[in-house]
Amino acid sequence: MTVLLGSIDLTFLAISLAKIIVLTFMVILPMVAYSVMAERRGAAIMQDRVGPNRTNLPLTLLGFKKDLSIFGMGGLLQPMADGLKFILKEDFTPKHVRTFYFWLAPALTMVPALLTCAVLPFGSELNLGFLGLAQPVKAVIADLNVGPLYTFAIASLGVYGIVLAGWSSNSKYPFLGAVRSSSQMISYELSLGLAIVPVLMVFGELNLGKIAAAQDADGWLILPLWGHGLSLGRLLLWIPMLISFVIFTIAMFAETNRMPFDLPECETELVAGYHTEYSSMKFALFFLGEYAAMIIGSGLAVTLFLGGWSIPFGPLLGLGYTPGATPLWLGLLHIATFFAKVIVFILFFIGVRWTVPRFRYDQLMKLGWLWMFEIALANVLLTAVIMWLVPLK
Amino acid sequence: MATVVVQRPKLKWHEKAFVLSTLWKGLKITLGHAVRMLQGKTKVTMQYPEQKWDDQLPEWYRGAPTLVTDEQGRERCVSCQLCEFICPPKAIKIIPSEIPSDDPWAKVEKRPKEFDIDMIRCIYCGMCEEVCPEQAIFLRKDYAITGESRAEMVHNKAKLYEIGGVREGLVNKWNELK
């Protein structure tokens, strides 16, 4: 027992805990809240409207003359107001539902979405020497050697939440939404998985942190313009990598039930889809789970294809990553780069949502099975042929 | 009229494969709107309580109906009750009274003792203004009529004169001049 207790590295535990708390509760969750707001404001901007711009710090409650708007931009506290509204609303459980599963389903949507952020490398490393730590701290919660596999394994649990919600609601629209969702997610997981096979072939590596570091040194997968990236093999591999990226992104839209693929919700046909019977915080959990999945999906796409935390042309500018010898400011800059890329990707998600109309169901299945699956498969073959003809190293 | 058969547009291969050209076309439209919005070129909804359109109200705007006095401070209404009878939603209630003989305007004979317009009922049609033979009732430009109770939403005579104010008009048959 003493040996067991002695073998636990308390510093490691404390650092991990700090990383979990900071990343999940202080970065991802606020990002979820604010991406909801960005969605609403973005939609308004694209549709020539104003959007929510009234929610400010309610100083008038304390007797001041005006509410305080942050940065002079109204409505920045809208997410807090939304959250408060969800908490204060009646949490209604209809008579006809299966109560246990009805209560389980929202948690099953939210939890996997947050779990997947464990393997995302959100920065290179932080040199916390001033705190007395000899080793620099890696900016990833769990440095797993099976990163993408872990992500897919957990992310595909998300469909259980939706299926359980639809089934336990015991009413027709949620049920239809759940059926659609399960078949859609299963179809698109195939192309999602196949799309990253070429990536894994190029790196020979399943550790997301090492994949990001390799891209920092040798050029991003879709921008191979420095380091070894300028070799003939890598430039030829540009084509299959771009195809992979496009397929991965489309499949990611489908996995997160975002707009061109939001058939599980589909307001015009299915009321609200699988969460028709839900109210208050349980509905909010579905909502937040969807956005968390979107953020983490963006994070994965950024890590795999857009170089993760690496700054474009970083090694040439002297902003590259050197293991064990990255100064603190550069580590922080890398973290900021990662989140900047994720935010740009989320804005892309939002732009596409208000651009592309929803697919018809048979078109969705056709696109998934007859186009993306085959192209992804052929892409694996193409990558293999290129790598066989022009060996990388 | 001859039937015009509209041909369904033939989609090219890159349009069928959705991501390639149609997505770009769509993004061009939405992003175009976004850019124009961010440049401040798009005209958007007025932010109501902060911005108001009071100075852009047209001359003929029909706001709250009010009673007016003439240039000599005489209330113009002679309580003929025509407006009460014509009012489609029956929003006007008048209790007439006689003008006592020692009043300087005794020759007008009648004036309203009470004149209530229920602003919850009023539909701002302007028929009262149209029908009034004395040009005593006018629709002013007040449109934000609010109150915290039903009683507050009934404009009594004092309130009506307060909003209405003085109006110099064509009707001068009661003046000394004539």
Give tens-digit pLDDT for A99-127. Answer: 888 888 888 888 888 888 888 888 888 77
Give tens-digit pLDDT for B94-112. Answer: 999 998 888 888 888 888 9
- A371–B17: do the CB atoms touch at under 8 Å? yes
**Residue B129: enclosing H or E segment and its boundaries?**
helix B127-131
In order of A8, A16, A212, A301, the CA distances from A117 in angstroms are 24, 13, 15, 13
Query: Which residues of A have a CB under 8 Å from any CB of B?
Result: 42, 45-50, 246, 250, 260, 351-352, 354-356, 367, 371
What local confidence, expressed as pLDDT, does residue B144 receive?
Answer: 86
Give the SS3 label for residue B92: strand
- B30–A46: do the CB atoms touch at under 8 Å? yes
| CA–CA distance, A85 with A41 (Å, rounded to integer) | 19
DSSP one-letter code for A371: I
Nearest CA among A296, A337, A312 for reference residue A141: A296
**Alpha helix (H) residue ranges in B11-92:** 13-16, 22-38, 82-86
- B37–A367: do the CB atoms touch at under 8 Å? no
Q: Which of A39, A40, A48 to mutate to test the interface with B (most CBs of B within 10 A)?
A: A48
What local confidence, expressed as pLDDT, does residue B95 receive?
Answer: 93
- ipTM greater than cut 0.95: no
Helix A29-46 crosses helix A280-305 at what angle (to 10 degrees)? 90
Contact (Cβ atoms closer than 8 angstroms) between residue B62 and residue B127: no
Cα of B149 vs its chain's centroid, Å: 21
CB atoms within 10 A of CB B122: 21
In order of A102, A111, A143, the CA distances from A146 in angstroms are 33, 20, 9
**Which residues in chain A are contacts of B17 at CB distance < 8 A?**
371
Burial class (CB in 10 A: 0-12, 13-18, 19+), A52: middle
Mean of all residue pLDDT scores within chain B: 85
Q: Which residue of B has its CA nearest to A368?
A: B17
From A332's Cα to the closest Cα of chain B, the distance in A is 31
Q: Which of A39, A46, A66 to mutate to test the interface with B (most CBs of B within 10 A)?
A: A46
Nearest CA among B53, B121, B124 for reference residue B90: B121
Q: Write phi, then psi, for B116 (nearest 5 degrees).
A: -115, 135
Could you tell me which CATH class the domain B57-164 is placed in?
alpha beta
Beta-bridge partner residues of B97: B111
CATH 3.30.70.3270 residue spans of chain B: 57-164
| CA–CA distance, B132 with B130 (Å, rounded to integer) | 6
Q: Report the residue from A42, A48, A246 with minimal CB separation from B19.
A: A246
Mean of all residue pLDDT scores within chain A: 82
What local confidence, expressed as pLDDT, does residue B124 receive?
Answer: 92
For range A138-145, the mean pLDDT: 81
**Which residues in chain A are contacts of B21 at CB distance < 8 A?**
none
Q: Report the residue from A45, A260, A367 with minimal CB separation from B34.
A: A45
For range A255-261, the mean pLDDT: 79
Q: Which residue of B has its CA nearest to A250?
A: B19
Residue B86 pLDDT greater than 90, yes or no? yes
**Which residues in chain B are contacts of A50 at CB distance < 8 A?**
44-45, 47
| CA–CA distance, A52 with A40 (Å, rounded to integer) | 7
In order of A82, A357, B158, the CA distances from A276 in angstroms are 19, 22, 54
Contact (Cβ atoms closer than 8 angstroms) between residue A372 and residue A250: yes
| CA–CA distance, A98 with A79 (Å, rounded to integer) | 31
- B27–A352: do the CB atoms touch at under 8 Å? yes
Contact (Cβ atoms closer than 8 angstroms) between residue A193 and residue A152: yes
**Alpha helix (H) residue ranges in chain A:** 2-7, 10-20, 29-46, 78-88, 99-115, 147-155, 158-168, 172-203, 208-218, 232-255, 267-270, 280-305, 314-317, 328-353, 361-366, 373-389
- A46–B31: do the CB atoms touch at under 8 Å? yes
Counting Cα atoms < 13 Å in the Cβ hemisphere of A389 gives: 11
Nearest CA among B170, B155, B171 for reference residue B67: B155
Q: How many CB pairs under 8 A join A and B?
A: 40
User: Band of the pLDDT at A362, cuts 50, 70, 90?
Assistant: confident
- B37–A48: do the CB atoms touch at under 8 Å? yes
Contact (Cβ atoms closer than 8 angstroms) between residue B127 and residue B88: yes
What local confidence, expressed as pLDDT, does residue B85 receive?
Answer: 93
| CA–CA distance, A259 with A267 (Å, rounded to integer) | 11
Nearest CA among B113, B98, B109, B101 for reference residue B134: B109
Query: Which residue is listed with tokens 């040199």?
Result: A127
| CA–CA distance, A307 with A210 (Å, rounded to integer) | 11
User: Band of the pLDDT at A266, cuts 50, 70, 90?
Assistant: low
Q: Which of B16, B30, B47 to mutate to test the interface with A (most CBs of A within 10 A)?
A: B30
DSSP character string of B93-115 = EEEEEEPPTTSTTGGG-EEEEEE
- A356–B26: do the CB atoms touch at under 8 Å? yes
- Can you give the residue ranges of every domain in chain A? 94-389
What local confidence, expressed as pLDDT, does residue B117 receive?
Answer: 92
User: Band of the pLDDT at B116, cuts 50, 70, 90?
Assistant: very high
From A250's Cα to the closest Cα of chain B, the distance in A is 9
Query: Which residue is listed with tokens 């109770």?
Result: B149
| CA–CA distance, A303 with A120 (Å, rounded to integer) | 8
**Which residues in chain B are contacts of A354 at CB distance < 8 A?**
30
| CA–CA distance, B59 with B139 (Å, rounded to integer) | 11
From B9's Cα to the closest Cα of chain A, the distance in A is 18
Helix A373-389 crosses helix A232-255 at what angle (to 10 degrees)? 160
Residue A224 pLDDT greater than 70, yes or no? yes
From B48's Cα to the closest Cα of chain A, the distance in A is 12
Say what percent of chain B tops pLDDT 70: 94
User: Band of the pLDDT at B91, cuts 50, 70, 90?
Assistant: very high
From B21's Cα to the closest Cα of chain A, the distance in A is 12
What local confidence, expressed as pLDDT, does residue A204 receive?
Answer: 85
Question: CA angle A381-A387-A388, nearest 5°?
Answer: 90
For range A80-91, the mean pLDDT: 86
Q: Which residue of B has its CA nearest to A249?
A: B19
Q: Which residue of B has its CA nearest to A367?
A: B17
- A48–B31: do the CB atoms touch at under 8 Å? no
Residue A57 pLDDT greater than 60, yes or no? yes
- A355–B17: do the CB atoms touch at under 8 Å? no
Q: Report the residue from A260, A351, A371 with minimal CB separation from B30.
A: A351
What local confidence, expressed as pLDDT, does residue A69 receive?
Answer: 65
What local confidence, expressed as pLDDT, does residue A326 receive?
Answer: 75
User: Band of the pLDDT at B125, cuts 50, 70, 90?
Assistant: very high
From B147's Cα to the closest Cα of chain A, the distance in A is 22
DSSP one-letter code for A369: I
For range B5-28, the mean pLDDT: 79
For range A324-336, the mean pLDDT: 82
Token reading at A42: 């973005």
**Which residues in chain A are contacts of B34 at CB distance < 8 A?**
42, 45-46, 351
**Which residues in chain A are contacts of B27 at CB distance < 8 A?**
351-352, 355
> Three-state SS across A41-82?
HHHHHHCCCCCCCCCCECHHHHCCCCCECHHHCCCCCHHHHH
- B33–A356: do the CB atoms touch at under 8 Å? no
- A355–B18: do the CB atoms touch at under 8 Å? no
Query: Which residue is listed with tokens 């636990």?
Result: A8
